[in-house]
Structure 1
Amino acid sequence: MNMRYLMTTKGGSEADEKLFAEMGAFVEEMTKAGILLATGGLEPRGLVMTSEGDDITVTDGPFLEAKDVVGGFALVEVRSKEEALEVARRFRKIVGDGESQIWQVFG
């Protein structure tokens, strides 16, 4: 049974032609293999929604340091956690130093 994982990324190399070419090839490979379900970039500042009882508040933000901004995501479907980690390792090798977070998606 396949499992889905949501991967987010912070940091990485400055975008240049080499990075775009390597990432394009990686995305194409993952798509052809049926692993990559969705991918995309995220705006640096979204919205924050908080709730307390019946009160819901929406504010601009979060306001983070540049190194803490989540820059993008990928949703993958793989056979195991180990396979998800290997996909994330390959991604990090392309984009360089930074952080990726990986969550299993249920449902």
Structure 2
Amino acid sequence: MRFMIIVRATADTEAGVMPEAPLLAAMAAYHEELAKAGVLLDANGLKASSQGWRIRYRNGKGTVIDGPFAETKELIAGYTLIQVRSREEAMEWARRYPAPMGEHADGEIEVREVFELEDFEPGETIDRFRTLQAAGY
């Protein structure tokens, strides 16, 4: 089972404020623990939405919308992707996640399970995805 631990953005992350050394050290230690346990798949911080864009679809047509985006609470500052044996194990790891904005600052993470190909009805399209997955994509 794969789970994504999502770090919610704040006004500071959107302003491009970089994490201070103690927070970076705590994050490095946490991710080292995940790696040693063999559950870490990927982890990254994301640049501010001012450096990104969205594509909004209406009636099948996509329109590019440049950042920044106003609703900070809807934005993501980073993520950690883990693969574990159960929801309970994912919750255990999530509870150990360092305070994402620093020890004395408000912050929030969200944990979401990632769909697996087994969650979908078998068929030709799912087989195409399995081929991609087998190739490492």
Q: TM-score range by the shorter chain?
A: 0.7 to 0.9
Residue 91 of structure 1: SS of its match in structure 2? Answer: coil
- For residue 47 of structure 2, the aligned residue among 43, 46, 60 is 43
Q: Whole-Å Cα distance in 2 between the matches of residues 33 and 77 of structure 1? A: 10
Deviation at 1:42, TM superposition (A): 0.8
1:68, distance to aligned residue in structure 2 (A): 5.2
Q: Which of 80, 83, 86 is the aligned partner of 1:77?
A: 83
How far the C-alpha of 1:63 sits from its partner, in A, is 1.1
Comparing 54-63 with 30-39, greater Cα deviation is found at: 54-63
Contact 1:41/1:71 (<8 A) preserved: yes
State the structure with more CA Rg.
2
CA distance in 1, matches of 2:30, 2:65: 36
1:77 Cα deviation from its structure 2 partner: 0.4
Say if 1:92 and 1:98, in contact at 8 Å, map to a contact too: no
Q: What is the CA–CA distance in structure 2 between the aligned matches of 1:57 and 1:66, rounded to whole Å?
A: 21
How many aligned residue pairs are there? 105
- For structure 1, which runs of at least 5 residues remain unmatched after alignment? none
Q: Which has the higher contact order (CA 8 A, sep 6+)?
A: 1
Q: Partner of 1:43: helix, strand, or coil?
A: coil
Q: Which residue of 1 aligns with 2:111?
A: 102
Say which is worse superposed, 33-42 or 96-105, in terms of deviation: 96-105
Query: Separation in 2 of the partners of 1:43 and 1:7?
Result: 17
Question: Contact conserved, 2:99 with 2:107, CA < 8 A, in 1?
Answer: no
Higher strand share: 1
> Is contact 2:54–2:65 with CA below 8 Å preserved after alignment?
yes
Percent of counterpart pairs with the same letter?
A: 39
Q: Return the offset for 1:69.
A: 3.7
Q: Could you list the runs of 5+ residues in structure 2 that have no partner in the other structure?
A: 11-17, 117-137
